[in-house]
């Protein structure tokens, strides 16, 4: 089953098939993100820095 193989819902596959039937391969092209990012550039940089510190720095056991 396609949905199972791709780990998506059956409904998603149905929507893809309908889009294909109505518009061919171009209809399946990504339309880009649905909305603007919720983090500012500064917030994203801060998040990146914190993630780089690893889980132990934030009270989680290091899983490496």
Where in the chain are the domains?
1-28
Q: Give the span between the Cα atoms of 52 and 46, in whole angstroms.
A: 10
Region of 33 please: left (phi>0), alpha (psi -120 to 50) or beta.
beta
Q: Which residues contact 24 (CB under 8 A, 6 or more apart)?
A: none
Confidence at residue 37, expressed as pLDDT on a 0 to 100 scale: 84
Query: 28 versus 37: which is more confidently predicted?
Result: 28
pLDDT at 36: 86
Would the pLDDT of 48 be above 70? yes
pLDDT attached to residue 64: 59
Kindly tell me if the per-residue pLDDT of 42 is higher than 70.
yes
**Widest pairwise Cα distance in the chain:** 51
């Amino acid at each position: 089953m396609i949905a199972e193989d791709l780990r998506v819902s059956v409904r998603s596959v149905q929507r893809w098939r309908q889009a294909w039937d109505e518009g061919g391969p171009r209809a399946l092209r990504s339309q880009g993100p649905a909305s603007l990012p919720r983090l500012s550039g500064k917030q994203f940089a801060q998040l990146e820095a914190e993630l780089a510190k690893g889980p132990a720095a934030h009270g989680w056991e290091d899983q490496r």
